[in-house]
Chains A and B, each alone.
Chain A
């Protein structure tokens, strides 16, 4: 009997009051409980309750990177960006707090740090990014004083404390790696949030952006206008400024040309797919990213393993964003359900993206796009004539942005 038929039979049996035999149900293991993984776990259960879903996540709760810049700016709290996994548990997702340390693709088993193996029929890996600390000299020895805060959580709290402790008249230095990196507009939003805080609390202070890219990589004219109109004497932007070294003793960062002192050094290193992707052979491109089939999110390197979110080799015009990971989680969930039920996956998946950035406590700008599958090129492509950015920053979009956060958190976790 094919699984499809067996499921129908077992569903009928359970309706008739008999127990569903557990051993023969398909099992999907999801590694990572962020925007990609949690969304995939929820939608697998929402769309096919006949599948057993186990989600492995090392943190006990979810902390959102989107909105975390507002915590740095003092406009939102950690409590507002932290959410538990009880909603997923109620949907029947088995949440395991542990770290996946290896994948045996031949045996279809994930190995966990605390011991124990998880067998899977399909594995979904949503590992976020990890950092190339070694590309910045001195970083490894400086991590108690120099933070990235590019994963929301303890570092968000610690960086906020550094900003609060900084004297009025101090300099906050934020350094940005060469694209692609997680959340293209994130650094520029962070500059706005810190500048907003300085404007209110320590107005003689400065925000210095050192960008390894030649120019602002996302919503450039809108961010520059906000810096000019809202934070004229606070924000300074320098392009083509790649950081190659840091020194926590002298509190300086070194670029190819200069050594620059600061009172708070926020150094965001270059990034690649998260460690578990590296360890399990999912990284295919440039030692950094995981190439996938965009109809299913299945890895091009390892069969029956799907990769989501920032770790993927992004398709054309596709940002590494939480919204995009959420969209990928749904396309992947639908494809995995189809594959486990011996059906063909949707040949024409569609994804959309809307990234909001808070340029003050209330005013917001966005960038949006829609991505349709192009069969000739075997990839997702942004639809020409669709998408775009805000005409101007506005409080109306501020209301929509906070609504976006609450809806997408519920969409992945509730």
Chain B
């Protein structure tokens, strides 16, 4: 097989040639994983899994934490550390993960 064919195959099956934005979303989401589990799959029942939650739900909850309309022990303090654009990226990443 010629190299160009191999490369074409690789691109077709490997979305790993991630765009900068994809990898930024992945890295941002990883900052949630210490408490919420790798890729948002929590191993406990006390802290919710984020994997597979609807994107709009995550965005709205983060904003509710931020403005204090949803009470929290720590999430209000963490939510205020992220920009709207970052919350959007994180929410999109978790929404795309299998539960």
Report which A residues bind B (CB closer than 8 A).
Answer: 1, 5, 8-9, 11-13, 15-16, 42-43, 46-48, 323, 326-327, 330-331, 334, 338, 343-344, 346, 348-352, 354, 366, 368-372, 383, 385-388, 390, 394, 396-397, 399-400, 402-404, 406-408, 410-411, 414
Contacts and interface: CB of A to CB of B under 8 A. Distances in A.
B77 A368 contact: yes
A219 to B, nearest CB: 13
Nearest to A383: B81
B27 A386 contact: no
Interface string B40-64: 0011101100000000000000000
17 contacts: A1-B3, A5-B7, A13-B6, A42-B38, A46-B38, A327-B34, A352-B34, A368-B74, A383-B81, A386-B78, A388-B77, A400-B47, A403-B44, A407-B43, A411-B37, A411-B38, A414-B38
Contacts of A12: 6-7, 9-10, 13
Given A330-B31, A370-B80, 14 more contacts: A9-B3, A9-B10, A12-B7, A12-B10, A16-B1, A48-B16, A346-B24, A350-B81, A352-B32, A366-B73, A396-B73, A400-B47, A404-B47, A407-B47
Contacts of A343: 20
B77 A387 contact: yes
Given A9-B7, A326-B34, A404-B34, A15 B13 contact: yes
A330 B32 CA distance: 11
Contacts of B7: 5, 8-9, 12
Interface of B is mostly: helix
A283 B2 CA distance: 49
A407 B28 contact: no
Nearest to A371: B81
How large, as a class, is the contact surface on chain B? 35 or more
A311 to B, nearest CB: 19
B38 A402 contact: no
Contacts of A47: 26
Nearest to B17: A8
B38 A9 contact: no
A397 B72 CA distance: 10
Nearest to A35: B34
Nearest to A13: B6
A50 B71 CA distance: 43
Most A C-beta atoms less than 10 A away, residue of B6, B10, B32, B77: B77
B35 A404 contact: yes
Contact of A323 (B10, B34, B47): B34
